[in-house]
A and B are shown apart, each in its own frame.
Chain A
Amino acid sequence: MRKELPDWLKTAMPETAAAPKAIARTAREQAETLGLPGLRDEEWRWTNLRAIQRGEFTAPTGVGADIEPSVRLPLDNPLRLRFIDGVFEGVPNDVPEGLTLTALPDADEDTRQAAFSPTPAPSVENPNDALVTLNTAMAREGVVIDVAANAVIDRPIVVEWLDGATESVMSHPRVLVRLGQSSSATLIEHIETVGEQPSWRNSVIVSTIAANAVLTHIALGLDGARRLATERTFVSLERDARYHSHNVQLGGQMIRREYDIHVGGSGAHVDLIGLMMPRGKQVLDTHTRITHAAADTTSNEHYRTIADDAGRGIFKGRILIEEDAQRIQAYQSSNNLILSDNAEIDAKPELEIYADDVSCSHGATIGRLDEEALFYLRSRGLQLDEARGLLIAGFAQEVIDEIPLVELRDWLTERVEQRLGDRDTAGNETA
């Protein structure tokens, strides 16, 4: 059974939303009947929204203090798009040629229409989509990122989600990313909780990648003991387009992240790489759904979870190959490491294949640290703690190594090592 939409959420529905009027009105009606996903919804068996249900979050009142993230990512001249408690700070004024940035409410009707009409389209039957619908009904803030055909945007575009700046705030921002033919861009989500307050962000990113264009999308979920987030990314790819996704989740109380990827043109390729490290009582959950709707397309998915303390990691990866989509290669692996008796990991691959000429493989492993490898390292004189740390860091490193930005990769390597270094004193603290 769905959880009915709590009153505080009903009353928070805005008079004017960023979505075109008709879309917003429908979404509003649907949101009220859909409610929030509940425990009995299969897709929400492992992660529940009780903390949100009970949260009594309010909409942000306006731009808070001039808050900066606690860390500066090692990026070359980034274009920073700051959202403080979901409120967009505005577009920077030194935007390079080929790139157009527009605050969502300022965008024209067609653009706003596009921002709220993702492919694949969410359906009312799917409990996951209740949250997208809610976002559609509630979204007032957002940004549109347009990359012109043939433009190569070297500067990374960084969406900074700075949550928790003010008391118990919720936000429903929406981002539209459109890459023109043969263009390329790097989108980074820098996610952090900047205060002590609980927060809930229900964000949606809709992206379209035109023929032969390349989007690299890196999500970095950093500190934030009290962050609740439900994050959804829609991606649709045309011919020969490529989408490289790296999803690193370190912080947060409960993070549910979902990717819906529609591989709609032949020759298109998708990489989904992920690392989740729940500890304390964190719940870090990623669901991915890839639909191969065109022939000669490929996908490569590799997720790793390291769960410590009473942390909980969830990975569910679905790959759907449509009937006419022949000559598909789709690989998926999910490797998981459990470091404590109270930690838990659920990993579930799902393959649905309707074509006959496909090459697919998937596999999930869940294990503890390899005793033999520990013995090997100790037999070379390394202390037990160090040997453990090395093995855990090494496990994480294999997915970190796939991040294409060298400085960011090195920074993350260090960050993960630090995090492992204070593991013994971690207790219930998160991230």
Chain B
Amino acid sequence: MTEVSLRSLVKRYGKTEALKGISLHVRHGEFVSLLGPSGCGKSTTLKCIAGFEEVSGGQILFDERDISRKLPEDRDIGMVFQSYALFPHMTVAQNLAFGLEMRRVPKVEIAERIARAMDMVQLSAHAERYPKALSGGQQQRVALARALVIEPAILLLDEPLANLDAKLRDEMRGFIRDLQKRVGITTLYVTHDQGEAMTMSDRVVVMFDGQIAQAASPEEIYDHPTSERVARFVGNANILDLAVSPRGDGQLDLVLPGGHLLRVERPACGAGGGMRVMARPEQIALTEPAAGQIGGRVAKRYFSGRHVEYHVETDVGPVVVVAPTTHAVREGEAVGLRFDPQRLWPVPSAEAPAEGRE
């Protein structure tokens, strides 16, 4: 069991600053995802922790010990790569044994431990196969077992599911998460797939441009993003321009075009500058025109089997609503929209100078 702390981590490649001061604390046995668009520095963060890249500034601590000057082979990490990086000239069993041989574990114990590890990832039948003779999902499981069999202090995964097809990816999500819980290992998981980050993690760290924009539980990130950019990156978000007026009691009044007044909780962050309001598509109800807080007209309707997505033209701009398939509203029909004040969430607008929490 190990805690990982990053303290103002900076990484420069020549003039480009890939990481601009990353601070993060990962608790014992916690599963933390690094989520962000391509090039935001997720892999760089992981490489710095693994020791493949030298940090330009800041500290990396495992259980309060600064390890940022240690060589990768002395850091006691297990790593899973996007390409799996299985040794092609070794069988599954030999791949698993490699890390144990490096640690000079006695032969008998190696045999026991790789047997247990192969059992854990359900690959005992393929012990003598070469990686080329395995499917993508099986190779992935070997990579996972190889990283875990050495019982490392922490587990690092860099987009491990990116090369799998959608169905297998869903399966592997659950598999990795279950395994991680059973082993109880502190885990950092890099992905640009927000669904993956949300379903697997204890905590999601959203990164943009080499900085952490928000680090919180999946629910918190989804319901209470601290910036418009986070709101848009994680799931679908309607960002509405409404007249916002603060009240004395820590709440905000929102005035809708029809004159309706909504009273919402005022978020702790960035209350100063301009505010806009986030409404998730499934948190908006579709009603008869007269019953809505605002009115609109359905411009597009997309049926997906599980639900229907409506694109509604309103006085506050286009609004996306996701409704159960029991609704039968056609394109061109007039509708009303109702917001749940409990679920509306004001966010600092993108133009506001201070984005996110520092």
A and B are partners in one complex rather than unrelated chains: no
